[in-house]
Chain A
Amino acid sequence: MTDTTTQPRQIADRLTSPLHDAVYSWPTLLLFVAVGLFVLNTFASPYFLSPWALSDATFNFTEKAIIAFAMALLIISGEIDLSVAAIIALSSTMMGLALQFGVDTPTLVLIGSLTGVACGAFNGLLVTGLGLPSIVVTIGTMSFFRGISFMILGDKAFNGYPPSFAYFGQGYVWWVISFEFVLFVIVALAYYVVLHRTNFGRHVFAIGNNPVAAQFSGVRVARVKFLLFCLVGLMSGIAAVLLTSRLGSTRPSIAQGWELEVITMVVLGGVAILGGSGTIQGVFVAAFVMGLISFGLGLLNVPGIVMSIFIGGLLIIVIALPILANKVRESRA
């Protein structure tokens, strides 16, 4: 029969402290890489260390990183959105279209953001409602969204955004601290809280690890995934506001190829491409790493096409690295 004399076993909450885990983590390693790149850049150009050059360098990644945080959640949940750059194009086009009717700056921002949400909701509906694989859906909507943009604009461009609109992409909050950079930090904090400190974030991890068991545990899987697609859409819309404001014009080819860089940033940040694990801290540091790489290559006058080879190579390496590490570990065991 049951033995009631033995003490119930006490199981430790943790074997290692959270601080220990944080030190021996991918983001920490990445931080060293970022510092190394920083030092390399100071050698590459004597102008790099000036405050304004550093400030300029941040524009290389803030817009992409703002999308990357939401993308990180989506990838952790086991889905992906390849249409983010196309959403930027469509959002920017819609703002340009609204501009022709003389709307004011707040309305422009609203239209840009809401177009993003609508695109994200469209992706989310196709994935969760019809059960289609997100990679296929968003390859489709990638052409679809940008196609609409081309249809509206053709080879023309929208110009003449109001001066007050320029603040988002060109304004400074204080000295060299740009509005974009401040927004980047705020968004990072917000996503850190959502992913690592809320029930919603826990559901995201559960879904990414095992959607069936998550469903069986009462997690509303489809609802969470739909929301994540909307979030990625919203962040793409906001990125469209920033980018359009910075460039001061809209062309249908705007932000071409950004989806690759956003996903590279997420994966470099330690998010498992097959879902289930990752941190916002990692993506935050990865944003700096990506920014430093492209700024450094820019200082060395490396042409854009070589840059994309570099980014593509980086993506392959960071995806292959954990798999190779696993194989090494297995062969030793």
Chain B
Amino acid sequence: MSEPLLRLSKITKTFPGVRALHAVDLELYPGEVTALIGENGAGKSTLVKAMTGIYQPDDGEIFFAGRKVTMPTPHAAFQLGITAIHQETVLFDELTVAENIFLGHSPKGRFNLIDWPKMNANARLLLDDIGASHIAADIRLKDVSIANKHLVAVARALSVEADVVIMDEPTAALSHKEIEDLFSLVEKLKSDGKAILFISHKFDEIYRLADRYTVFRDGEMVGNGVLADTQQSQIVEMMVGRSVEQVFPSRAVEIGPPVLNVKGFSHPTEFADIEFDLHKGEVLGFYGLVGAGRSEVMQALFGMTPSTSGTITSNGQVISPKSPADAIKAGIVYLPEERGKQGVILDLPIFQNISLPSLSQTSRNGFLRMAQEFELARNYASRLDLRAASLSQHAGTLSGGNQQKVVIAKWLAIQPNIIILDEPTKGIDIGSKAAVHTFMGELVEQGLSVIMVSSEIPEILGMSDRVVVMREGRLAEVFDNDKSLTAEALIRCAAGIGEQAA
């Protein structure tokens, strides 16, 4: 076995309140594809950013061809010959294909001006090389289709003399035919002796392309090896871990009659034919891969996307929320995934964040009553065990977990019937996570109904009464969460893997 070209040793990266990576190792070998596998939030993207100079690891070492290196900037990684094709490509619509490919390192001619003929010719060569001879080099990127844009991004990544190529879910936005083209490109890069890191959720792709694998869970490396020696089920087991039952509070809640019924719920582009019902006292889990359309469905239920069709029945009445204000009136609240952007208002005091949707209760004839606002905020803050010095401090000064508590307090204060939680524990510390889980149990005990969108399988299995799995904007299956429901079954269903190896 040859020496690894790139070796990461004991890389640690911490963000305020979150340990994204903890002493992880990774080795990439020339001429081989290594698959990086893990659930959403396992730390894969953080590692890619640490490998490409976007983040600086707090601890740990990186060796390139046996030599210890540091990458203080993305440019430094570029110069070492490490290049990445990101999940969401950052390209410039108003520039030409060639400009996009060579932005930052375009060939220079006289007076240090861009050598246009050379740049276009080089772009042509690169595009031909990756099997994209149908894309013209001199047209603007905005006139290029989505799939072809992706190929431009690939060409850009390969426009530097790179020895290490990182592909972060490169097939997420591609059609079948384009995926095949990409695969032959990966084979070609492999035969050129490049070391490739391939990140994907799809097991069929991983088994087809990769030679080795490394599995991450909760920011730690939990396994690696040669793929040919490893069963798919072993990898899934590593991804999920085995501590599901212990962490989550058990509860005994009588499931009541349906409180929400959704039928034929469709959106022009995001999702179609969504159909489910939610019972009183139930936690309904929504699982799926990123981009499966779960958040889109929830935001539509909450009135954020009015251009939907279908029937929503809440407590026997047909409702059609055209705005969040309408949904709130109907007793439906939504805790958004993007806490900082959509959940809390960072520069408003905690108590004003909590009272914002409840002002009609705390005020009299439209005039604020501060005493009532403080009382409301104090009440819910202590119920959620909020950690803050005062209720007048800005929400932005709190940790992620405590900000999440502020958002939850805000919604509980309006005393809803249905609370939709979108990735409620994403990016918050373990202690706050447990508090949120305990609290969900209390909510359903009080007769609320909870919809929980989550990408963390242990959370889904540990909290839900039933699990809805979505795939590509459609409802794939609804599972009863009895003892027989396994993580493997959920992953298979979400990724659309057949049952052949079950």
Given contacts A14-B391, A213-B343, contact A219 B325 (CB under 8 A): yes
Q: Does B382 contact A (CB under 8 A)?
A: yes
Taking a contact as CB atoms closer than 8 A, the residue among A10, A206, A277 that contacts B382 in the complex is: A10
Interface pair A202/B360, CB less than 8 Å apart: no
Complex CA gap A12/B334 in Å reads: 28
- Spot the interface stretch: B24-32, B193-201, B346-354: B346-354
Interface pair B363/A9, CB less than 8 Å apart: no
In residues 261-306 of chain B, which contact A (Cβ within 8 Å)? 302, 304
> Which chain A residues lie closer than 8 Å to B324 at the CB level?
215-218
Q: Does B41 contact A (CB under 8 A)?
A: no
Taking a contact as CB atoms closer than 8 A, the residue among A13, A209, A212, A217 that contacts B392 in the complex is: A13
- Spot the interface stretch: B75-83, B236-244, B366-374: B366-374
In residues 375-405 of chain B, which contact A (Cβ within 8 Å)? 378, 381-383, 385-393
Chain B 140-162, CB-CB to A under 8 Å as 1, else 0, gives 00000000000000000000000
Interface pair B360/A199, CB less than 8 Å apart: yes
> Which chain A residues lie closer than 8 Å to B74 at the CB level?
none
| Chain A nearest Cβ from B185, distance in angstroms | 39
Interface pair A209/B347, CB less than 8 Å apart: yes
Taking a contact as CB atoms closer than 8 A, the residue among B249, B325, B344, B366 that contacts A200 in the complex is: B366
Complex CA gap A197/B341 in Å reads: 26
| Chain B nearest Cβ from A311, distance in angstroms | 29
Complex CA gap A8/B387 in Å reads: 11
| Chain B nearest Cβ from A198, distance in angstroms | 5
> Which chain A residues lie closer than 8 Å to B388 at the CB level?
11
Complex CA gap A201/B381 in Å reads: 24
Given contacts A11-B386, A11-B388, A198-B368, contact A216 B348 (CB under 8 A): no
Complex CA gap A218/B356 in Å reads: 8
Q: Does A5 contact B (CB under 8 A)?
A: no
Q: Does B323 contact A (CB under 8 A)?
A: yes
Chain A: CB-nearest residue to B339: A213
Taking a contact as CB atoms closer than 8 A, the residue among B323, B368, B385 that contacts A8 in the complex is: B385
Q: Does A220 contact B (CB under 8 A)?
A: yes
Given contacts A13-B378, A198-B368, contact A2 B392 (CB under 8 A): no
Interface pair A202/B352, CB less than 8 Å apart: yes
Interface pair A9/B385, CB less than 8 Å apart: yes
Interface pair A202/B345, CB less than 8 Å apart: no
Complex CA gap A206/B354 in Å reads: 12
Interface pair A209/B383, CB less than 8 Å apart: no
| Chain B nearest Cβ from A19, distance in angstroms | 14
Q: Does A15 contact B (CB under 8 A)?
A: yes
Interface pair B392/A216, CB less than 8 Å apart: no
Chain A: CB-nearest residue to B335: A216
Q: Does B336 contact A (CB under 8 A)?
A: yes
Chain A 180-191, CB-CB to B under 8 Å as 1, else 0, gives 000000000000
Interface pair B390/A210, CB less than 8 Å apart: no
Interface pair A216/B366, CB less than 8 Å apart: no
Q: Does B438 contact A (CB under 8 A)?
A: yes
| Chain B nearest Cβ from A239, distance in angstroms | 26
Interface pair A199/B348, CB less than 8 Å apart: no
Interface pair A197/B368, CB less than 8 Å apart: yes
Complex CA gap A13/B151 in Å reads: 56
Interface pair B341/A210, CB less than 8 Å apart: yes
| Chain B nearest Cβ from A275, distance in angstroms | 10
> Which chain A residues lie closer than 8 Å to B386 at the CB level?
9, 11
Chain A 54-92, CB-CB to B under 8 Å as 1, else 0, gives 000000000000000000000000000000000000000
Complex CA gap A199/B362 in Å reads: 10
Chain A: CB-nearest residue to B394: A209
The count of residues in chain A whose C-beta lies closer than 8 Å to any C-beta of chain B is 33
| Chain A nearest Cβ from B319, distance in angstroms | 15
> Which chain B residues lie closer than 8 Å to A328 at the CB level?
none
Q: Does A282 contact B (CB under 8 A)?
A: no
The count of residues in chain B whose C-beta lies closer than 8 Å to any C-beta of chain A is 44
Taking a contact as CB atoms closer than 8 A, the residue among B334, B346, B387, B390 that contacts A216 in the complex is: B334
Interface pair A11/B390, CB less than 8 Å apart: yes
| Chain B nearest Cβ from A243, distance in angstroms | 32
Complex CA gap A198/B304 in Å reads: 26
Interface pair B342/A213, CB less than 8 Å apart: yes
Taking a contact as CB atoms closer than 8 A, the residue among A10, A220, A276 that contacts B347 in the complex is: A276
In residues 1-46 of chain A, which contact B (Cβ within 8 Å)? 1-2, 8-15
> Which chain A residues lie closer than 8 Å to B374 at the CB level?
13
Q: Does B328 contact A (CB under 8 A)?
A: yes
Interface pair B381/A11, CB less than 8 Å apart: yes
Given contacts A8-B382, A217-B357, A276-B347, contact A14 B390 (CB under 8 A): yes
> Which chain B residues lie closer than 8 Å to A13 at the CB level?
351, 374, 378, 390-392
Complex CA gap A201/B359 in Å reads: 11
Complex CA gap A277/B396 in Å reads: 15
Q: Does B44 contact A (CB under 8 A)?
A: no
Interface pair A198/B342, CB less than 8 Å apart: no
> Which chain B residues lie closer than 8 Å to A198 at the CB level?
363, 366-368
> Which chain A residues lie closer than 8 Å to B378 at the CB level?
10-11, 13
Q: Does A229 contact B (CB under 8 A)?
A: no
| Chain B nearest Cβ from A298, distance in angstroms | 39
Q: Does A205 contact B (CB under 8 A)?
A: yes
Chain B: CB-nearest residue to A214: B345
In residues 62-89 of chain B, which contact A (Cβ within 8 Å)? none
> Which chain A residues lie closer than 8 Å to B327 at the CB level?
218
Complex CA gap A68/B313 in Å reads: 47
Q: Does B471 contact A (CB under 8 A)?
A: no
> Which chain A residues lie closer than 8 Å to B346 at the CB level?
209-210
Complex CA gap A199/B358 in Å reads: 10
In residues 163-194 of chain A, which contact B (Cβ within 8 Å)? 193
Taking a contact as CB atoms closer than 8 A, the residue among B345, B383, B389 that contacts A206 in the complex is: B345
Interface pair A11/B359, CB less than 8 Å apart: no
> Which chain B residues lie closer than 8 Å to A8 at the CB level?
382-383, 385
Complex CA gap A216/B407 in Å reads: 11
Interface pair B343/A220, CB less than 8 Å apart: no
Q: Does B410 contact A (CB under 8 A)?
A: yes
Interface pair B341/A15, CB less than 8 Å apart: no
Given contacts A9-B387, A213-B342, contact A219 B366 (CB under 8 A): no
> Which chain A residues lie closer than 8 Å to B342 at the CB level?
212-213, 216
| Chain B nearest Cβ from A219, distance in angstroms | 7
Chain A: CB-nearest residue to B437: A2
Chain B: CB-nearest residue to A205: B348
Interface pair A11/B356, CB less than 8 Å apart: no
> Which chain B residues lie closer than 8 Å to A12 at the CB level?
389-391
Complex CA gap A5/B386 in Å reads: 17
Chain A 264-285, CB-CB to B under 8 Å as 1, else 0, gives 0000000000001100000000
| Chain B nearest Cβ from A323, distance in angstroms | 16
Interface pair B347/A277, CB less than 8 Å apart: yes
| Chain B nearest Cβ from A270, distance in angstroms | 15
Interface pair A216/B343, CB less than 8 Å apart: yes
Taking a contact as CB atoms closer than 8 A, the residue among A9, A199, A212, A213 that contacts B359 in the complex is: A199
| Chain B nearest Cβ from A199, distance in angstroms | 4
Complex CA gap A201/B391 in Å reads: 19
Chain A: CB-nearest residue to B438: A2
Interface pair A197/B438, CB less than 8 Å apart: no
| 8 pairs, A vs B, C-beta closer than 8 Å | A13-B351, A13-B374, A15-B393, A203-B359, A209-B347, A214-B345, A216-B302, A218-B356
7 smallest beta-carbon distances between A and B, as pairs:
A8-B382, A218-B328, A199-B359, A218-B325, A12-B390, A15-B390, A14-B392
Knowing that A10-B378, A13-B378, A210-B345 touch, tell me 10 more A-B residue pairs with CB under 8 angstroms: A1-B438, A15-B389, A197-B368, A198-B367, A199-B363, A209-B348, A210-B346, A216-B342, A216-B343, A217-B356
